[in-house]
Structures are given as structure tokens and as C-alpha cells.
Chain A
């Protein structure tokens, strides 16, 4: 159990367009989901924490209007990169936890390339 999926696994888009990434907990209900970003040869950096039914909590330096997060159900959270630019190209990883105290289960990641 505790499988997390992400869709799409990779996406290429033009500069200025918006891209939506889905994160789903397939076999459990996730009260909390997390979004991370990983640049090449760098560590995972937490972008935001989302709790089902409430607004996401963004880490310092992460633009709320740029990275829209919605956690509308206990099994789905979405990250929308609005007006994407080449510098937004990165590997985006989500994780989900049953509760804030429990283990995070990671998705396989989504590679975004903005041309």
C-alpha cells in the first residue's frame, strides 16, 4: 500500500503557458501533500505543504501566484505552474501522508521543460 502517482511524468511546454501537474494517493487518503522541486545535482527543496480543504502553506521564496496548489480531495493535489518560463524547468516531486505525523510517500516526479 501507500502508492503515490504523478501525472504527467514529463511535459514540454512553451514559455508563457501554464502547466498542471497532478499528484494522487492511489490506495490511501492523504490529509497532507507536499510539493518539492529538484534542480539537477541539487537536493529536493520543499515548495509548499497542502492540507485537504485548506490553503497551501508556501515556503519562503516560493511565489504563491506562480505555483498554484489545490488539494481539493483526500486523494488529489494539483500544482499549476502559471506563465511558465525556462527557469521553471525542473523536476517536481510530490509526496503524500495520511496525517502530518506519518511517513511521506513520494511520487515518481514530473520533469518539466519550458522552451
Chain B
């Protein structure tokens, strides 16, 4: 079965430190992976998707099919990056737009 695993519930770093939020997936086909972010008291919003290969707010994520991972990275964390981050997989074989979410990782960036 398709699954998205985010092993860390909470990740705490200091401002300026590198940050890596881990995401592993299990899917037999060709997955489409996303990172969503939810800032405090705000709605869930798309941060980036692997097919775009773009950098948003300094974050990047590379799909590693060998390790079935899609870790989110930023070289220098900022306080405003503190939020809940969800990794998601688009199951193209299922119903249209079926997003399978991980449980999320709360990132706390300390001053």
C-alpha cells in the first residue's frame, strides 16, 4: 500500500542552521511528491513539488527513487520557517488527485 512516512514529529534548530525534514515513501509506480506547509493559524499551502525542481523560500527537495525519499532541505533556517510541514504523494493510479499525506513534522526555528 502507498504510504508516506515522516519520522520526526518535531524538529528544532537554531536560526542560521541547516535543516532537513525527512520524508520516505512507499509506492510501486512513478510517484509525484509534494511538500506542503502550514504556518500557525493559516491554511495548508503547497511549498514545492518534485516535478517543478524549483526552490521556494530557500527550500529544495530531491526525489531519490533508490532510497524512496524526498527530504526537504534548507541551508540556513529562518525563524519565519517555523511551521508544520507535510510530505505528500500523488497516487496517479488512484482517484484523480489522490494525495496521501505524511503525519507532518513541526519545525521550530529558535532565535
Residues of chain A at the chain B interface (Cβ within 8 Å): 4, 32, 34, 41-46, 49, 51, 57, 59, 93, 95, 97, 100, 103-109
Chain B contacts for A104, CB-based, 8 A: 46, 97, 99
Counting chain B residues whose Cβ lies within 8 A of the other chain, the interface size class is 10 to 19
Do A49 and B101 form a contact, CB below 8 Å, given A106-B43, A107-B43, A108-B43? no
**Residues of chain B in range 24-55 having any CB-CB distance to chain A below 8 Å:** 36, 42-46, 49
Q: Is the CB of B98 within 8 A of A46?
A: yes
Q: Which residues of A contact B42 (CB under 8 A)?
A: 108
- 24 sample A-B contacts, Cβ–Cβ < 8 Å, listed by A number: A4-B43, A32-B97, A34-B99, A41-B103, A42-B103, A43-B86, A43-B101, A44-B44, A44-B99, A46-B98, A46-B99, A49-B98, A51-B96, A95-B44, A97-B97, A100-B96, A103-B46, A103-B49, A104-B46, A105-B46, A106-B36, A107-B43, A108-B43, A109-B43
